Structure 1
Amino acid sequence: MTEAGVLICDDQELTRAGLRGVVDSQTDLTVLGEAEDGETAVAQARALSPDLVLMEARLPCLDGISATARLRTELPGTPVVVLTSCDRDEYAYAALRAGARGFLVKDASAAEILVAVRGVLRGDTVIAPSVARRLVDRYVTGTAAPLPDTRLDLLTDREREVLELVGRGLTNAEIAGRLFLGETTVKTHVSRIRTKLDIRDRIQAVVMAYESGLVRPGG
């Protein structure tokens, strides 16, 4: 079995040691390297080409959110899971906006961390349940003010309709039924939306739909 290589970035040596123990205890995972700040993490990722990076949000030299954004630009095929002691909503939101594929808090168990790592390696996006609930409360029933996004101007009227329904949580099959389209056609629209808006998954599409005001809480 091929092992997936993980890069660990945290400014606390004890935390790095603990995460190394969790990862290296698995037959399908291995730690390729460690970093104690964001700049080193980016340099290590370039040198080691890990399959996944575990990144603390609050780091010296270059914070973990900024480092995540750098990695998304320089190594777009390398997913990042932000694992932090701070579960404030703005950190989770900033991490997702920067391109992180996961957001966990450090009170997660070893089993939960491993489930998240494997999920992200499969292409999923994983968010700590408590944080996910608050984000839903804020952006579905809350008061986040819409922020104009000129990228929406790149979409056709039909693509905007599809994005709105994605933002409302409908599946491709449900969107097809609502708009009287074939499911394959909806998949094509979703793919074009992701390309035009430079978003990687449905979670980021939902966030953009609410953030831009295309979908309004309770609407």
Structure 2
Amino acid sequence: KRTMTLIEKNGCHDTVYMNAAKIFQGIHTEKAKDRMLVRYGGDSAPPVLAFKDASSQRLSYELAFNALKYQDLLEEMLLDSCVYPCHSIPDELTSLLVVMLYDLQDRKFQAREISDEDEPVADVRKIEHYLYSFKTKLAAALARYRIKYDAPSIEYVLPETIRKQHQRASALPLCVWINTFKIRLQALQDREGKGFTKVESVSDLDHYTYGVDQHCSDMLVFPSSLKEELLNLDLFADSKLLLQ
């Protein structure tokens, strides 16, 4: 395996946060001026993004859309904890503040593990230090929010229809395309005995197993529980396998 862009729940590389912030800047929900308590500076022009690899791209978009999904919660946490506004953090960095707050609470307010290969980005390190210095107040604000909405976890603050959609999606098998320009099915099947075993039916998927789609021989299916582990394989880093 290569060094992962995302190491379990230990955080992302600096560039992932920057790209996620740029994406979020363009998609965040604009509120009416009389309700706008958190201000996002900058413009809404299409961002210029530079991704290290496919994994970084996926993580950047996932982080941005998770921040969008919980935008109201994250903004209330910032306001309730008095972390926002902050004179030393300009409005142009609010998007970065929000996406990094989402990631911090997703890590249960634990410090990020920084890889030696990670090139530091000054704004990311500044926001990271600022948020972490207020982690106790932010955690308390999150707890108050959950109590207010009687939510066992943040997923329960979402509308029920959205929660059910997420639950159904998370239970579906992962569909993976074989990039036949780089690898053949036989080469993948040769990996049996090295961790993955082929099964004949999707209903038999369990743990380290995979199946071949009966209608398309270039598509594999895996248990959904293996998503993070699969995406950190060299096969994905080299674009030999592509997550649908």
Question: Is the pair's TM-score, using the shorter chain for normalization, greater than 0.5?
Answer: no
Q: TM-score, normalised by structure 2?
A: 0.24
Q: Point out the structure with max Rg over C-alpha.
A: 2
Higher relative contact order by CA 8 Å / sep ≥ 6: 1 or 2? Answer: 2
Task: With the length of structure 1 as denominator, give the TM-score of the two structures.
Answer: 0.25
